[in-house]
C-alpha cells in the first residue's frame, strides 16, 4: 500500500511539472497607453493614434461606449482616429483593445472639437513706451470673419496714444509716465467678439527701455541674426537672458545684443531678455523665436521701416524654404495709401500719401501651394517728419579706408547723429554733425548697431543697421601686412618663391642690405623692426610700377639711410625719391590697393 502511494505521489509531481513546462510564460498585462487626445477643429483634418502595450499582438480596436465626434472614425487594425470634424462640441467614449488571445482592455477618452476660426485676441502683452518717444504696436487676432473692429472697452490708453479701430494699431507719442491698464475688444463682421486685458508702462524720458519688436522666425540649418534694441539710460548696454532660453544653436552677444547662430531644433522658445546700462538701471522684455523645420516655408521679415508722406518708399519682403517661385499677397488689413505689393518679388513700394499707421498681414505661397503668413505694419510720418532713410550699409575690408554717409529727411536742420545701441566696427567712427561713418577697419566680423538722429527741435528717429568687415584681400596687386612680414623672413633666409614674393623681393633685399650696412642683424630686422619698414619697401617698389599708395612715409627708413655706409648713398637717394612720390600720392588720397595685373 505504501509503495502504491509513493507511486501516485511521484506521478502527481511529474504531471504537475509537465503541465508547467507545457504552459507558456504569461505576457505583460494588456493596457491602452493613450490617456488623452488633443482638441480638433471643425473643418480641419484630424489624426491621432491609440497606442497599447502588453498582451499578444496583433491588436484590434473598437468603440464600445459612446461615439466619436461626427466626421471621425476609428481604424480597427491600426488604432488611428482620423477624419475631418463637422460639429463643435465634446464627445466622450470608451475604446477597447483586444489582443490575439482575446484578452481585452479599455480606456475612457474624449475629444473636444472647437468652432472653425473661433475669434481670439492673440496679443498677450505690449512693450513699454517712453515719454516723448514715438510708440507703435499692433494688436493681433485670429479666426472669425474679416474685417475686424477694435475698441478699448475698459480702462484707457496712456495719454498721447490712440487705437486705430480698423487696424488694431496703437500709436502716438506718450506724454505722461506711468502704467495704464485697459481691456481691448475685437469684433468680426459676424458680430463675434473676444476681449483681452492689457497694459502699457510709459517710462520717463531718458529711462532705459528695451524696444525690440517681435523677432523673426528661424529655420533649422539656416544662419540667424537679429539685434535687440533699447533706448535711454547710459551707454554702454549689457544684455542677458534671465528667464527661459534661446533656441538650440543660437547665442546672445552680451555687448551688442545680437542673437545669432545656426538653429538646430524646431519649435518655439520663449525667453526674457534684460538690458542693463552703465548706471546699473535695467529693463526686461519677453520675447520668443520660432524655428521651423529645414525647408519649411517661412516669412523672415519681422518688421518694416517707417515711411514719409510724398517720399518714395521701397522695402522687400523675404522668405525662406518651400519651393520657388513665391507669390505674395496681403490677406488682412491694408498697405498705406500710395503703396502696393509686387506679388512676384515681394517688394512694397510707392509714395505714401497719407500719414498714420497701417497694420496688415502678408501671405507667401510657394509653387507647391504651401503658405505661411506674417503680421506687419508700416508707420507713415507726416511730410517733414524726421526720418532716417538709410536702410543698409555696404561691407568694408580690414585695412581699407571706409566712408558712408547716413541720410535723413524732414525735421529742422541741423541734425545730430549718435550710436545708441551696439557699436561700430573697430576702427570706424561716426561724425555726429555730418552722419559720416568713416575710418579704417581693423577687425573682421559683423557689427550691429542702432543710430539715432535728432533735429534742432529735439525730434528724433532711430534705425537698426549693421556693417560687415571682410578680411583684407590677398590677391595679386594688393599688399597685406602679414604677407610682407613672411616675405621679409623668406628673403632673410635666402629662399622665396611665388609671383607676389618675386614682385616684392627687390625692395626688401635693398632694405635688408641697408640694415646690414647699419650693423643690424637681419633676423632682428624682420622680427623687431619690420613694422617700421615694411610698407615703405612696398611703396618704394610699387610706385615705379603705377601702383596707388596711401600709407604714411616711414621716417625711420631715412634714419636707416643716415646710418648706412657711404657706399649705400645711391640707395638712400632712391628711397628718398620714392618717399616723395608716396607723399605726393598721399596728398591725392589714393589707396594702398594695387592695380590687378
Phi first, then psi: give them for residue 331, nearest 5 degrees.
Answer: -105, -10
Predicted local confidence at residue 518, as pLDDT: 60
Identify the residue with better confidence: 484 or 250: 250
| Cα end-to-end distance, the chain, whole Å | 122
Residue 22: inside a domain, yes or no?
A: no
Query: Among 140-154, 248-262, 365-379, 566-580, whose mean pLDDT is lowest?
Result: 566-580
Q: Are residues 182 and 100 in the same domain?
A: no
Residue 2: inside a domain, yes or no?
A: no
Identify the residue with better confidence: 113 or 398: 398
In terms of residue numbers, what domain contains 395?
387-470
Domain limit, last residue, from 381, 411, 444: 381
Residue 13: inside a domain, yes or no?
A: no
Residue 290: inside a domain, yes or no?
A: yes
When computed from its CA atoms, the radius of gyration of the chain, rounded to whole angstroms, is 37
Residue 19: inside a domain, yes or no?
A: no
Neighbours of 201 (CB within 10 A): 19
Predicted local confidence at residue 367, as pLDDT: 84
Residue from 121, 286, 123 nearest 195 by CA: 121
Q: Are residues 240 and 321 in the same domain?
A: yes
What is the CA 374 to chain-centroid distance, rounded? 15
Q: DSSP letter for 113, please.
A: E
Predicted local confidence at residue 474, as pLDDT: 39
Predicted local confidence at residue 482, as pLDDT: 39
Q: How confident is the model at residue 457 (pLDDT cuts 50, 70, 90)?
A: low
Predicted local confidence at residue 566, as pLDDT: 35
Here the CATH number for the domain that contains residue 86 is 2.60.40.10
Q: Are residues 235 and 376 in the same domain?
A: yes
H or E element, residue 47: strand 46-49
- For every residue of 73-87, DSSP letters joined together read EE-TTT-EEEE---S
Q: How confident is the model at residue 520 (pLDDT cuts 50, 70, 90)?
A: low
Cα(191)–Cα(228) distance, integer angstroms? 39
**In this model, does residue 440 exceed pLDDT 80?**
yes
Q: Tens of pLDDT along 15-43?
A: 444 444 444 444 588 999 888 887 777 77
Q: How confident is the model at residue 543 (pLDDT cuts 50, 70, 90)?
A: very low
Residue from 47, 191, 39, 187 nearest 114 by CA: 39
Query: Among 8-12, 122-126, 363-367, 517-521, whose mean pLDDT is lowest?
Result: 8-12
Contact assessment for residue 120 and residue 94, using Cβ atoms and an 8 Å cutoff: no
Q: Tens of pLDDT along 545-576?
A: 333 333 333 433 443 343 333 334 443 444 44
Residue 262: inside a domain, yes or no?
A: yes
Q: Are residues 452 and 311 in the same domain?
A: no
Instruction: Using a cut of 0.85, tell me whether the model's pTM lies above it.
Output: no
Residue 24: inside a domain, yes or no?
A: no
Q: What is the dihedral of CA 334, 336, 340, 346, to 10 degrees?
A: -70
Count of domains forming the chain? 5
| Residue reference for cell 463682421 | 189
| Residue reference for cell 520657388 | 324
Q: Are residues 326 and 352 in the same domain?
A: yes
**In this model, does residue 320 exceed pLDDT 90?**
no
Amino acid at each position: 500500500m505504501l509503495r502504491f502511494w509513493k507511486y501516485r505521489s511521484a506521478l502527481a509531481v511529474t504531471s504537475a511539472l509537465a503541465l508547467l513546462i507545457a504552459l507558456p510564460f504569461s505576457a505583460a498585462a494588456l493596457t491602452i497607453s493613450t490617456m488623452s487626445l488633443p482638441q480638433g477643429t471643425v473643418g480641419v483634418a484630424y489624426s491621432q493614434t491609440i497606442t497599447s502595450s502588453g498582451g499578444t499582438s496583433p491588436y484590434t480596436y473598437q468603440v464600445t461606449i459612446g461615439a466619436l465626434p461626427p466626421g471621425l472614425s476609428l481604424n480597427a487594425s491600426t488604432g488611428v482616429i482620423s477624419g475631418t470634424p463637422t460639429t463643435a462640441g465634446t464627445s466622450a467614449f470608451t475604446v477597447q483593445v483586444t489582443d490575439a488571445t482575446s484578452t481585452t482592455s479599455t480606456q475612457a477618452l474624449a475629444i473636444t472639437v472647437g468652432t472653425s476660426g473661433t475669434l481670439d485676441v492673440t496679443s498677450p502683452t505690449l512693450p513699454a513706451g517712453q515719454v516723448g518717444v514715438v510708440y507703435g504696436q499692433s494688436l493681433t487676432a485670429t479666426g472669425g470673419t474679416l474685417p475686424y473692429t477694435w475698441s478699448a472697452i475698459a480702462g484707457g490708453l496712456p495719454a498721447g496714444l490712440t487705437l486705430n479701430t480698423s487696424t488694431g494699431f496703437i500709436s502716438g507719442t506718450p506724454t505722461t509716465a506711468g502704467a495704464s491698464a485697459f481691456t481691448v475688444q475685437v469684433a468680426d463682421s459676424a458680430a463675434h467678439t473676444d476681449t483681452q486685458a492689457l497694459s502699457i508702462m510709459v517710462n520717463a524720458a531718458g529711462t532705459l527701455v528695451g524696444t525690440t519688436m517681435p523677432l523673426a522666425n528661424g529655420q533649422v540649418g539656416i544662419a540667424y541674426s537679429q539685434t535687440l534694441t533699447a533706448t535711454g539710460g547710459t551707454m554702454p548696454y549689457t544684455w542677458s537672458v534671465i528667464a527661459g532660453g534661446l533656441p538650440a544653436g543660437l547665442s546672445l552677444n552680451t555687448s551688442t545684443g545680437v542673437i545669432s547662430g545656426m538653429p538646430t531644433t524646431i519649435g518655439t522658445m520663449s525667453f526674457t531678455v534684460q538690458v542693463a546700462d552703465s548706471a546699473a538701471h535695467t529693463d526686461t522684455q519677453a520675447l520668443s523665436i520660432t524655428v521651423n523645420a529645414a525647408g519649411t516655408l517661412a516669412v523672415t521679415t519681422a518688421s518694416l521701416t517707417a515711411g514719409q508722406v510724398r517720399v518714395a518708399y521701397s522695402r522687400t519682403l523675404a522668405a525662406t524654404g518651400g519651393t520657388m517661385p513665391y507669390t505674395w499677397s496681403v490677406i488682412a488689413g491694408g498697405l498705406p495709401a500710395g503703396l502696393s505689393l509686387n506679388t512676384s518679388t515681394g517688394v512694397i513700394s510707392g509714395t505714401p500719401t497719407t500719414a498714420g499707421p497701417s497694420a496688415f498681414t502678408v501671405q507667401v505661397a510657394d509653387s507647391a501651394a504651401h503658405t505661411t503668413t506674417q503680421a506687419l505694419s508700416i508707420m507713415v510720418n507726416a511730410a517733414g517728419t524726421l526720418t532716417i532713410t538709410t536702410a543698409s550699409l555696404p561691407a568694408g575690408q580690414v585695412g581699407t579706408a571706409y566712408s558712408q554717409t547716413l541720410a535723413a529727411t524732414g525735421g529742422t536742420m541741423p541734425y545730430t547723429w549718435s550710436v545708441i545701441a551696439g557699436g561700430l566696427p573697430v576702427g570706424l567712427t561716426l561724425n555726429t554733425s555730418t552722419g559720416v561713418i568713416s575710418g579704417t577697419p581693423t577687425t573682421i566680423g559683423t557689427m550691429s548697431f542702432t543710430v539715432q538722429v535728432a533735429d534742432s527741435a529735439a525730434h528724433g528717429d532711430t534705425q537698426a543697421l549693421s556693417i560687415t568687415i571682410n578680411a583684407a584681400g590677398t590677391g595679386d596687386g594688393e599688399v597685406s601686412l602679414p604677407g610682407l612680414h613672411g616675405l621679409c623672413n623668406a628673403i632673410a633666409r635666402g629662399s622665396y618663391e611665388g609671383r607676389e614674393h618675386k614682385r616684392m623681393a627687390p625692395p626688401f633685399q635693398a632694405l635688408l642690405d641697408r640694415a646690414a650696412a647699419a650693423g643690424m642683424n637681419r633676423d632682428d630686422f624682420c622680427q623687431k623692426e619690420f613694422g617700421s619698414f615694411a610698407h615703405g619697401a612696398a611703396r618704394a617698389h610699387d610706385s615705379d610700377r603705377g601702383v596707388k599708395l596711401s600709407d604714411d612715409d616711414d621716417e625711420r627708413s631715412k634714419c636707416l639711410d643716415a646710418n648706412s655706409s657711404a657706399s649705400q648713398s645711391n640707395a638712400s637717394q632712391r628711397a628718398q625719391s620714392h618717399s616723395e612720390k608716396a607723399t605726393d600720392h598721399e596728398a591725392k588720397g589714393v589707396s594702398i590697393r594695387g592695380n590687378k595685373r
